[in-house]
Structure 1
Amino acid sequence: MHVLILGARAPACLEWARAFRAAGWRVTAGDSLAWPITRASNAIHDYVRLPEPRTETKAWLAALKACIETRAVDLVLPTCEEAFYLAHGRDCLPCRVMTSDFSLMHRLHHKGWFAEMIRDWPVSAPETRLLESREDVAALSDEAGNWVFKPAYSRFANRALIRPRAEALSNIRPTTDQPWVAQRFVAGREHCSYSILLDGRLTAHACYHPRYRVGRGSGIWFEPTDPAPIRVFLERFGTQTGYTGQVAFDFIESPDGRCHAIECNPRATSGVHLFDDQPNALVAALLGAEGVLTPTHAPRQVALAMLLFAAHKHLFDRQFWRDYHRARDVVTRPGDHAPLPAQIPGLAEIIGRAIARRSGLLAAATADSEWNGQTL
């Protein structure tokens, strides 16, 4: 059997490559970058460089189809937001594609529509208002400090304004095509879930607290947690939607023990690393094995990112260094160390894109594959 795993720049892709290799599959990884981290791993047999899905969607799908046909690929698995382009074009691809239908993924990706979808669920979203004009924003200016403002299509807290001053709202210019949402601020402990479902049936589930992050964005240290309401939420989500594929949610657990669903990411996230010591079971869960796979309790981390993006803030914090030494790195693995130094050229390539596109580093890391509601 042959799997093509997309989003090779992501450590999640590396995790899946190792899992499929352990399960006896032939593994090809794909991305638009020349030197993504997964390319350096001995878990993959081949690497294919693809066009950028966001700007060259038709060419990207054509290249995928050619790759599937010439390499006899049996399964395509996305890990980043190329999942949206894959879902939109999956009917033209001659193999199994691990995504849900595009319309459901769109509904989940749009932060306002997702909040509306789960409004009456036991675990629901905080009060959320859709903002499609400057007037919508101005209506909240007197109580801006009670709200979180963010684009309806966004990721990694990119451009989010958390309890801003009223004058900061002047930078928000929503439209009907590029709306924002305002979500009432809820204080508490953050949990991130990662799950796999097949036709609505939960087959794998993990939850974690991202103790350390790159800025306010992506988590880089993952402490397993297991709030019961979140597991119940995922079971209901599967029943209500019939979802297939990987899906992740962000939650806030308030001091009274209630969990609030903040947003949905219908793709892979760092939660997949919590299954790094169960590779065969992880692949079986993706393919629909009975039961629900759950992770072991050890924390994981992206060790180099901890040193580059978090250590300078915690130089004299003993707890930080204890956490660093007790967590397992998700990039290195016995017998597969090349991805560790491969992070440097991969990061350099993204820095080059950030300079060329005059954007921040996080924005440059996703600019070629993210989907922001534009017509496909």
Structure 2
Amino acid sequence: MKTVLLTLGRLPKALAVVRACRAAGCRVLVADPFRWHVCKPSRDVDRSFRVTAPNDSLSQYFADLLDIIDRESVDLVIPISEEALHVAKLRAQLPAGVKLWAAPLAQLAELHHKRDFIALAARKGLPVPETYTADESEARALALRSDYVEKPVHSCSGIGLRFAKAGDALASDSAEGLVQTHLDGDLISSLSVVSRGREVATVFYRGRVFAGTVAICFERVDDAVSAQQWVSDFLADSDYSGFLAFDFIVAGDGVARAIECNPRATSGVHFFDSASLGEALLDPESASSIKLSTGTRFQWAYSTLTETYAVIFKPREFIRRFKEMLAARDVIWAGHDPLPFFLMTPMSWEILWPAMTSSISLGEATQRDIAWFGESN
């Protein structure tokens, strides 16, 4: 039996990967800087470990992970979220035979940097919106003539996102800020499992209910022809391995334009059949594809319920969200593994408490200790 180590356990997508690896016959371990997380009570997790947060002490974080890998005879390490860019640095220090399900840091950093990703896609001849860093003169010219979006070049969960009208002054003139043309159209997202540039499987989905900018209720999209071609063309000359996700705006002309890349797992993982995903992660080079799950609508039920009651005095939107909630399957619940669902609130307390008692968002509370801000981090 192979032993798999996930380097984060606090997010629903981590639980999906836990269950996928267990369904494929693995012993599953989870490491997280939080003492409590949604994967901790799962019967599919053999052991959980608390480790130092990479943004507190990167060297100690590495030492903690390497100690687990050595003591528990880990065969495969799977990063889940923003910590992937930190964990990528461990590749050269891993014991012989231990595999890392992530691309090299240089690749991850280029894709994670929102300006560098757009430049890379443009060099490949792929459609993208006009994009500059805020210190470029072209950014100021763009802000004068077009509605635009501002965000940090390193950001996640919508942190620091600002929508502005043409003529509005830029909030920043720093190279760490991004200015991008605002596109009108349908926002869809993708998640691919990629092995040495080969697209093992890709799924597309759109949000139906949001918490801020984060989709918490989402549906599969099966006719994303332009976006599928975009993904295939992007990977055509790549040697990338790992999870790879894109956000697209599909305009009225039917053309998909990628607005950013997330080189990590996303909520799209819930649309893959659990056992099939687990088998592909264990042996991606032999996997021909990954089966899709039977459901086409999923949600974080607790969050969807909260966001539904947040608009209770807006009857039309309340009814719409309530119907979306009834039509979607919860991503935490599993009949063979019920405790993560019933203990969701206490297991998420290290996210909920700072979000309730300070000005930071839930997204920031989730990522603040693991987020990647470049080599200077």
Instruction: Note whether the superposition's TM-score is higher than 0.5.
Output: yes
Quote the residue 2:279 is aligned against.
284
Contact 1:41 1:336 in 2 (8 A): yes
Listed as ranges, the matches of 1:195-234 within 5 Å are 195-216=192-213, 218-226=214-222, 227-234=224-231
CA separation of 1:311 and 1:243: change in aligned 2, threshold 3 A: farther
Structure 1 residue ranges without an equivalent (≥5) = none
CA RMSD, Structure 1 to Structure 2 (Å)? 2.1
Quote the residue 1:142 is aligned against.
144
Quote the residue 1:323 is aligned against.
324
Quote the residue 2:247 is aligned against.
250
In the TM superposition, residue 164 of structure 1 has moved relative to its aligned partner by 4.0
Quote the residue 1:235 is aligned against.
232
Say which of 265, 271, 274 aligns to 1:274.
271
SS of aligned partner of 1:249 = strand
Is 1:302 the counterpart of 2:297 in the alignment? no
Contact 1:206 1:294 in 2 (8 A): no
The residue identity in structure 1 corresponding to 2:217 is: W
Quote the residue 1:101 is aligned against.
104
Quote the residue 2:172 is aligned against.
172
The residue identity in structure 1 corresponding to 2:219 is: E
The residue identity in structure 1 corresponding to 2:315 is: F
Alpha-carbon separation, structure 2, partners of 1:260 and 1:136: 20
In the TM superposition, residue 165 of structure 1 has moved relative to its aligned partner by 6.8
Quote the residue 2:6 is aligned against.
5
SS of aligned partner of 2:25 = coil
Quote the residue 2:311 is aligned against.
313
Contact 1:50 1:60 in 2 (8 A): yes
The residue identity in structure 2 corresponding to 1:313 is: V
What's the TM-score, normalizing by structure 1?
0.91
Give CA-to-partner distance per residue, 1:170-190, whole Å, 9 cap, x none.
x32414xxx211111110001
Say which of 92, 116, 119 aligns to 1:116.
119
Listed as ranges, the matches of 1:55-134 within 5 Å are 55-94=56-95, 95-121=98-124, 123-132=126-135
In the TM superposition, residue 40 of structure 1 has moved relative to its aligned partner by 1.4
Contact 1:200 1:244 in 2 (8 A): yes
Quote the residue 2:28 is aligned against.
27
The residue identity in structure 2 corresponding to 1:243 is: Y
Contact 1:214 1:310 in 2 (8 A): no
CA separation of 1:347 and 1:280: change in aligned 2, threshold 3 A: closer
Identity %: 30
Alpha-carbon separation, structure 1, partners of 2:352 and 2:331: 22
Alpha-carbon separation, structure 2, partners of 1:351 and 1:32: 15
SS of aligned partner of 2:270 = helix
CA separation of 1:109 and 1:4: change in aligned 2, threshold 3 A: same
What's the TM-score, normalizing by structure 2?
0.91
Contact 2:248 2:258 in 1 (8 A): yes
In the TM superposition, residue 137 of structure 1 has moved relative to its aligned partner by 5.5
Alpha-carbon separation, structure 2, partners of 1:72 and 1:184: 49
Alpha-carbon separation, structure 2, partners of 1:301 and 1:262: 24
Quote the residue 2:183 is aligned against.
186
Alpha-carbon separation, structure 2, partners of 1:72 and 1:189: 46
Alpha-carbon separation, structure 1, partners of 2:309 and 2:240: 39
SS of aligned partner of 1:43 = coil
Contact 1:214 1:220 in 2 (8 A): yes
In the TM superposition, residue 267 of structure 1 has moved relative to its aligned partner by 0.5
Range with bigger deviation, 232-241 or 95-104: 232-241
Alpha-carbon separation, structure 2, partners of 1:342 and 1:172: 42
In the TM superposition, residue 101 of structure 1 has moved relative to its aligned partner by 0.6
Structure 2 residue ranges without an equivalent (≥5) = none
Range with bigger deviation, 299-308 or 120-129: 120-129
Contact 1:100 1:245 in 2 (8 A): yes
